[in-house]
Amino acid sequence: MNILAINHITINVKDLEKTKAFFSNVLKLPEAGFVDMGDHTLTYFRLTDDTRLELIHYLTPQKEAVVTETDLCIYRHFCLETDDLEGFAADCRAAGVPIRKEPGWVENLQCSTMLITDPNGVEIEIIQK
Over the stretch 110-126, which tens digit does the pLDDT of each residue have? 999 999 999 999 999 99
Choose between 1 and 43: higher pLDDT. 43
Class of domain 1-60 (CATH, top level): alpha beta
Residue range 33-41: average pLDDT? Answer: 97
Q: What is the CATH number of domain 76-129?
A: 3.30.720.110
Interval 2-17: pLDDT, tens: 888 999 999 999 999 9
Indicate the domain borders of the chain.
Answer: 1-60, 76-129
Distance CA(39)–CA(52), nearest Å, equals 21
Q: Which residues are within 8 A (CB) of 48 and not within 5 positions of it... i.e. 6 or more apart? A: none
Q: Residue 126: which of 106, 66, 107 has the closest Cα?
A: 106
Per-residue model confidence (pLDDT) at position 73? 81
Measuring CA to CA, how many Å separate 40 from each of 35, 43, 55?
A: 9, 10, 10
**Residue type for position 123:** E
Interval 51-99: pLDDT, tens: 999 999 999 988 888 888 888 888 889 999 999 999 999 999 999 999 9
List beta partners, residue 47: none
